Amino acid sequence: MRRVLALALRDLKLELRGKAGLFSALFFLGVVLLILGFALGPEREDLRRAAPGVLWVALAFAGSLLAGRAWAVEVENDTLDDLLLTPGSREWIYWGKFLFLWVLLLAVSVVLLVLVAGMFYLPLERGPAILLTLVLGATGYAAVATFYAGLVVRLSTAQLVLPILVFSVVVPVVLAAVRATTGLAGGAEIAEVVPWWKLLLVFDVIYLTASSLLFPFVIEG
Amino acid sequence: MGEPLLRLEGVWKRFGRDWVLRDVGLSLFPGEVVALLGPNGVGKTTLLRVAATLTRPQRGEVELFGRPARAVEAERAELLFLANPPAFYRHLTGEENLRSALFMGGRGVSAEEVAGALSWAGLPPARPVAAYSSGMRKRLALARIRLMGPRLLLLDEPETALDEAGRELLRQVIAAARERGGVLLATHDREFAGAVADREVVLS
């Protein structure tokens, strides 16, 4: 567990010092929100109705930019071999990389939530519940993205292949998260949203379990 | 001589259609330093990577510390492969790189030991590796080997980019590794190989 935390913290430190990945994702988010804002027009009610979709479209696109960051640091520094030569079974490497990407996605999610609330009138009275939806969605997304990014890390076309692989598997998570957020933004009772949270939780558990078990086999050269 | 630290038998490795290694066999016993020699492209680095369990051969047997390479997990703590050029995180300092590598490798060392190893290698602790020259990176790799103290040391052209003082540090590291276990190194420098190795294996 200590190695998992140490790996995630080291990668976060490298990401913040390197700046490129996180800042390009935030810049991309800003552009997406501006374009969607102009496209949907100035009417407050139109913007408010579209807010849950905007939130997840922007997060899914930014997530595709961030998906490869968990492994990009090893590729950029040629350090993948050193990581693979650390002693013990390699599941811990998956968990360390997952934790790094999860924290990164959550940080972006919080920024996004504030921006969407400001620009698209997403009601923040249900902020904690929307935040819970974001946490569950980010967990599933990070679980799949970490696994597939590790699978394609040695491919020269990794940047092109990765979003296709991730989106093809992560669609149920995004759809469930959009439905839960739409319900919360539209004033639905919490009880009506709970089934979507349960569905997200099931996907998260399945993705995390399968990915961590398969990871040692796919990461070998 | 006891059980070999490393044993390769009938190893075949190809990339695409090209066979790089054909029926290669090699054993490394405790207390030995073996130099791999041969022209560019003959498969020296590939052989080291196979020995380090980083690449699986298509055919043949690889054993480390008396166990099949596929079953080696905890024993990787006793193995260190130095690539050429050595890899470090460019945005971390030399000290941070060493501390991270040691922690991930399961070695607990004090801040004083890390500082001592950097001083031994003649390196500034607080400078990011991005600002290191290639010779300084090699020295940082030597400091790492010194701190990790592996039983099996695999070196790919370790002498390149090092000045004479750096080569002396390398000779010290190799001598210490021989005391603990064994060293397999790939090099083009016959003079260097003759000075440090007990045996030479020429790949052709």
Give tens-digit pLDDT for B57-80. 899 999 988 888 888 778 888 889
CA distance B77 to A99: 24
Record: contact A81-B52, CB cut-off 8 A: yes
Record: contact A14-B106, CB cut-off 8 A: no
Please tell me the predicted confidence (pLDDT) of residue A159.
78
Please tell me the predicted confidence (pLDDT) of residue B69.
83
A45 close contact with B: CB closer than 8 A: no
A48 close contact with B: CB closer than 8 A: no
A28-37, A203-212, B123-132 — most confident range: A203-212
Task: Residue B88: list chain A partners with CB under 8 A.
Answer: 77, 79
Higher-pLDDT residue of A89, A212: A212
Q: Which tens digit of pLDDT belongs to each residue from A20-35?
A: 777 888 888 888 889 9
CATH class, domain B6-88+149-202, is alpha beta
**Angle at alpha carbon of residue B133, lines to B127 and B139, rounded to 5°:** 80
A155-169, A207-221, B70-84, B180-194 — most confident range: B180-194
Q: Which tens digit of pLDDT belongs to each residue from A111-169?
A: 889 998 888 888 888 888 899 999 999 999 999 989 988 888 778 787 788 888 888 88
Q: Which of B45, B55, B89 to mutate to test the interface with A (most CBs of A within 10 A)?
A: B89
Is residue B108 scored above 80 in pLDDT?
Answer: no
| φ, ψ (nearest 5 deg) of residue B184 | -120, 120
Task: Residue B81: list chain A partners with CB under 8 A.
Answer: 81, 85
| Token pair for B73 | 């997990």
**Minimal CA separation from B161 to chain A, in Å:** 18
Nearest to A216 by CA among B86, B153, B71: B71
- The residues near B128 (Cβ < 8 Å, ≥ 6 apart) are B90, B91, B92, B93
Please tell me the predicted confidence (pLDDT) of residue A218.
82
- The pTM assigned to this predicted structure is 0.85
Task: Residue B100: list chain A partners with CB under 8 A.
Answer: 6, 10
CA distance A8 to A15: 10
Mean pLDDT of B150-168: 91
Nearest to B82 by CA among B29, B2, B150: B150
Q: How many CB atoms lie within 10 A of CB A121?
A: 17
Q: Which of A4, A76, A79, A100 to mutate to test the interface with B (most CBs of B within 10 A)?
A: A79
Q: Which of B78, B93, B98, B104 to mutate to test the interface with A (most CBs of A within 10 A)?
A: B104
Mean pLDDT of B200-204: 86
Record: contact B105-A86, CB cut-off 8 A: yes
Q: Which tens digit of pLDDT belongs to each residue from A70-84?
A: 888 888 888 888 888
Task: Give the DSSP per-residue string, B38-82.
Answer: --TTSSHHHHHHHHTTSS--SEEEEEETTEEGGG-SGGGGGEEEE
Domain ranges of chain B: 6-88+149-202
Nearest to A7 by CA among B177, B99, B112: B99
